[in-house]
């Protein structure tokens, strides 16, 4: 690799100085490296970077921050097929496997093409209202149906491949990728899945009945639909669809969230094939 682009999380003080050190290190060794400028949060479309500003010859995007920064960067780069690697500058992360201690060794290995690529499944979600698709987005971690405010439960039905499975009264439902299985889904009691697998996990959030408390693991070719139940005049608690906490869309009764495997996986740069298990062991033993 010879062409790099660095995306710092400017809300963390250490990231920009670290980005400058990375650029100097790479340029001194004959590579090119640009740093994403800080963008105004008011633009609404991008938080950390504008994908149109990334040079076409870029071979590697380096994200500085943590798992949240990396997930946001994936959204920003969803129309660019560029391998991405995360440098963790905070707590132990599942996605950002590189830390400051191993940073320069990692850069040397990237320059020498000593790495491998791991494809991570994404989700594509559509909101269907009265037979029309009103919103579509992608998610790297999860798509969530949950209440937007108040303490009233959400009432919804689950369909898999067009077949009704169950009614739910709960705080919501998480549809997670294997990558997202170590995020909110894990906190809600869901299983951990190998990040390179192609599976969905559906994890209910605080269901009212014990029978609906279990997570459901489905193959990657499944079609999942969550239909909001209730009456139009019931405004006490308006449910929302959340895409990686990147966007939220208010829902109405009879709206459906349709979730399928994304057409384009995320290409993650990996330096160590056992890093997921090492990180998992450290995280679970904290």
The domain spanning residue 14 has which CATH number? 3.40.50.10330
H-run or E-run covering 48: none
| Tens digit of pLDDT at every position of the chain (286 positions) | 999 999 999 888 889 999 999 999 999 999 999 999 987 654 444 567 888 889 999 999 999 988 888 998 998 898 899 999 999 886 666 787 788 889 999 999 999 999 999 999 999 999 999 999 999 999 999 999 998 877 788 999 999 999 999 999 999 999 999 999 988 999 999 999 988 899 999 999 999 887 788 999 999 999 999 999 976 556 566 899 999 977 899 999 999 999 999 999 999 999 877 667 776 777 677 6
Q: 173: which 2 tokens?
A: 């439902």
How many whole angstroms separate alpha carbon 238 and alpha carbon 148? 6
Q: Are residues 242 and 277 in the same domain?
A: no
Let me know whether 275 and 147 are in one domain: no
DSSP letters, 110-171, are: HHTT--EEEEE--EEEEEEETTEEEEEEEESSEEEEEESSSSPPEEEEEEETTEEEEEEEES
Number of domains in the chain: 2
Is the pTM here over 0.85, yes or no? yes
Q: Are 37 and 140 in a shared domain?
A: no
Residue 173 and residue 147: Cα distance in Å, rounded? 10
Same domain, 51 and 86: yes
Phi, psi of 16 (to 5 degrees): -65, -45
User: What's the pLDDT at 275?
Assistant: 63
Residue 26 shares a structural domain with residue 75:
yes
pLDDT of residue 231: 66
Is 44 in the same domain as 133?
Answer: no
Instruction: Indicate if 81 belongs to the active site.
Output: no
Q: Are 231 and 128 contained in the same domain?
A: yes
Full residue range of the structural domain in which residue 177 is found: 123-261
Residues 278 and 168 in one domain: no
Is the same domain home to 105 and 163? no
Other beta carbons less than 10 A from residue 207's beta carbon: 20
Could you tell me if 73 and 153 lie in one domain? no
Same domain, 197 and 273: no
Q: Please tell me which residue in 52, 67, 76, 234 is annotated as part of the active site.
A: 67
**Do 62 and 146 sit in the same domain of this protein?**
no
Q: Tally the C-alpha atoms within 13 A of residue 195's C-alpha that lie toward its C-beta.
A: 24
Of 167, 206, 199, whose CA–CA distance to 184 is shortest?
A: 206
Contacts 24+ apart (CB under 8 A), 249-253: 249/127, 249/135, 250/148, 251/127, 251/145, 252/129, 252/228, 253/228, 253/229
We report the CATH number of the domain holding residue 223 as 2.60.200.30
Q: Rounded to whole angstroms, how far apart are CA atoms 190 and 174? A: 9
DSSP 61: E
């Amino acid at each position: 690799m010879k062409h790099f682009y660095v995306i710092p999380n400017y809300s963390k003080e250490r990231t920009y100085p670290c980005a400058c050190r990375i650029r100097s290190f790479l340029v001194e060794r004959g590579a090119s490296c640009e740093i994403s400028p800080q963008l105004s949060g008011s633009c609404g479309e991008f938080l950390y970077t504008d994908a149109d500003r990334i040079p076409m010859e870029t071979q590697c995007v380096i994200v500085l921050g943590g798992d949240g920064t990396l997930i946001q960067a994936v959204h920003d780069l969803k129309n660019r097929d560029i391998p991405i690697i995360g440098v963790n500058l905070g707590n132990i992360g599942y996605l950002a496997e590189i830390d400051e201690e191993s940073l320069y060794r990692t850069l040397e290995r990237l320059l020498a093409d000593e790495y491998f690529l791991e494809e991570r499944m994404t989700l594509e979600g559509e909101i269907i209202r009265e037979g029309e698709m009103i919103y579509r987005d992608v998610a790297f971690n999860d798509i969530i149906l949950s209440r937007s405010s108040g303490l009233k439960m959400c009432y919804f039905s689950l369909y898999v491949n067009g077949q009704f499975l169950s009614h739910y009264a709960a705080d919501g439902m998480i549809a997670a990728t294997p990558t997202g299985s170590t995020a909110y889904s894990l906190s809600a009691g869901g299983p951990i899945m190998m990040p390179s697998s192609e599976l969905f996990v559906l994890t209910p959030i605080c269901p009212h009945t014990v029978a609906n408390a279990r997570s459901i693991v489905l193959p990657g070719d499944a079609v999942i639909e969550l239909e909001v139940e209730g009456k139009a005049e019931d405004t006490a608690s308006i449910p929302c669809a959340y895409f990686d906490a990147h966007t939220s869309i208010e829902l109405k009764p009879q709206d459906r969230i349709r979730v399928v495997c994304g057409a384009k996986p995320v290409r993650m740069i990996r330096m160590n094939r056992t890093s997921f298990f090492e990180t998992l062991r450290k995280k679970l033993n904290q």
